[in-house]
Amino acid sequence: MTAAVHDRAAQKRAPKIAWTRLPGQSLAGQALGVMLGAGVVISGVVFVILTF
């Protein structure tokens, strides 16, 4: 169950990481991408903690 959740989170995170690394991307866009990625990680950690 948790492995499937982590796989889904990784799939969601991958396009955002690639998006933030586009050349010529603005700093605001990079900051937004980092915040979105951190939000996915934090929500995943909270979900794992709540399931235990």
Q: How many domains does the chain have?
A: 1
Q: What is the pLDDT of residue 45?
A: 92
According to the model, what pLDDT value does residue 30 have?
A: 74
Q: 11 near 37, Cβ under 8 Å? A: no
**Model confidence over 4-45: pLDDT tens digits?**
655 665 555 555 555 545 555 567 777 788 888 889 899 999
**Could you give the CA distance from residue 21 to residue 30 in angstroms, rounded to a whole number?**
8
Helix (H, G, I), strand (E, B) or coil at 2: helix
Q: Report the C-alpha gap between 44 and 32 in whole angstroms.
A: 18
Read off the pLDDT band of 3 (50, 70, 90). low
Instruction: Read off the pTM.
Output: 0.40
The Cα-based distances of 39 to 10, 17, 23, 24 in angstroms read: 12, 13, 23, 24
